[in-house]
Chains A and B, each alone.
Chain A
Amino acid sequence: QSVLTQPPSVSGAPGQRVTISCTGSSSNIGAGYDVHWYQQLPGTVPKLLIHGNSNRPSGVPDRFSASKSGTSASLAITGLQAEDEADYYCQSYDSSRNGFYVFGSGTHVSVL
């Protein structure tokens, strides 16, 4: 079981807005550690999509945005496109003895 909880799937029509939640606890997100997001297209390597809660690396479209509040974070995709169909993972740091870097359970985004 992943330390960070995400919905298994979300879907939307092209052009719509979808959001993905990432729920943690007081030992990771709630402790103030940053949340990062990765996109994994089918059969490919994970790609850093958002770092430091809301920062997009160079080349990532501004359709992707993210925020963090309390023990949760969320990723939003506006103007959904077919090429956004992928798995998305959140990641943070955890101070408990379960591990140091932790990932979310992953969310598959389907474009209808």
Chain B
Amino acid sequence: QVQFVQSGAEVRKPGASVKVSCKASGYSFSTYAIHWVRQAPGQSLEWMGWVNAANGFTKYSQKFQGRVTFSRDTSASTAYMEVSSLRSEDTAVYYCARDPNYYAFDVWGQGTMVTVSS
């Protein structure tokens, strides 16, 4: 079945960076874009942007432009999200998700908790 497996929880100090991975299986990785969505504790979902799994093209929400980098490795069927200059407000669960070309997210990773604390 189609699934995404994300890397484990991370703890970082303010100002540091973190890189989260998302390994896909069960479908042709290059077919669909991979999106990243985060959810701060007790808060709603927040879309961060996406990476075209086929050609690596990226699109970022204005809020994260310049501080977040998406990438992918097609040979490993894996997408990556790196967040730099972390601050406490970045403490959240980060999800990767697939958009099967209808502007919705049909498959989600299990989430990666990123805690930013001094």
Contact = CB atoms under 8 A, between A and B. Distances in A.
B27 interface: no
Contacts, number: 58
B61 A46 contact: no
B104 A46 contact: no
Interface string A24-53: 000000000110101000000111100110
Contact of A98 (B45, B62, B109): B62
Given A48-B106, A101-B35, A106 B44 contact: yes
Interface residues of B, number: 20
Q: What does DSSP make chain B's interface, helix, strand, loop or mixed?
A: loop
A102 interface: yes
A91 B106 CA distance: 12
Interface in B93-109: 95, 102-106, 108-109
Interface of B: 35, 37, 44-47, 59, 61-63, 95, 102-106, 108-111
Given A2-B44, A46-B105, 5 more contacts: A34-B104, A36-B103, A46-B45, A103-B37, A103-B45
